[in-house]
Amino acid sequence: MRLFVAINFNTETRSRLLALRDELRNCSKGGNFSVPENLHLTLAFLGECSAEQQASVKAAMDAVCFEPFPINIERIGRFKREGSDIWWAGVSRNKPLLDLQELLADKLMAAGFLLEERKYTPHITLGRQVVTEVAPWTIEPFGEVVKKIELMKSERLGGNLTYTSVYGKASAGAKQL
């Protein structure tokens, strides 16, 4: 199965992200835009994993301790790809988020996973293969307090890219899941 670890959002954050997705869609000539349930912030992408590897990811998540922390979504940006870019909502690079991402990556690498070596760019994908003439823009920041990270399974169901939470690790002080 294809796995990644992510932060999922509450209903209000999700609806604000959706409004931004719609704004982007309205000023685009084309693109493959994210459906509401697929909006998330990836912390680590594992790719194809065996059941044994899935257990290792859960153990790595269990070994990561973090306090609840706020995140802020502050801009709309893109990764340039030949003519059809990936557009996203960018998350401020705050210390608790970067520390959590690094700690998790360390635990996963210690368990034998090969992770992406590029610098972590915290982003929430709003659309892929987007064709637009607009330039990235800043937004009135909004966000929420993160209290949980989740192990997500990615699969194609009936032709649709579907993400399902298969495990969760709560922050210190949060109720057990």
The set of catalytic residues is 40, 123
The secondary structure of the chain in percent helix, strand, coil, rounded to multiples of 5, reads 25, 45, 30
Taking the least distance from each CB to ligand 2AM, the nearer of 42 and 174 is 42
Least Cβ distance, residue 142 to ligand 2AM (angstroms):
20
- 165 counts as binding ligand 2AM under rule CB under 6 A: no
Taking the least distance from each CB to ligand 2AM, the nearer of 115 and 174 is 115
**Single-letter residue type at 118:** R
- 45 counts as binding ligand 2AM under rule CB under 6 A: yes
- 154 counts as binding ligand 2AM under rule CB under 6 A: yes
Least Cβ distance, residue 67 to ligand 2AM (angstroms):
24
Q: Which of 37, 67, 116, 155 binds ligand 2AM (CB under 6 A)?
A: 116
E strand or H helix at 106: helix 95-110
Closest listed residue to residue 107, CA positions, set 67, 62, 69, 174: 62
**Single-letter residue type at 161:** L
Tell me how far CA of residue 54 lies from CA of 41, 48, 114, 116, 146, in angstroms: 19, 10, 14, 18, 23
Where does this chain bind ligand 2AM (CB under 6 A)?
Answer: 4, 42, 45, 86, 116, 125, 154
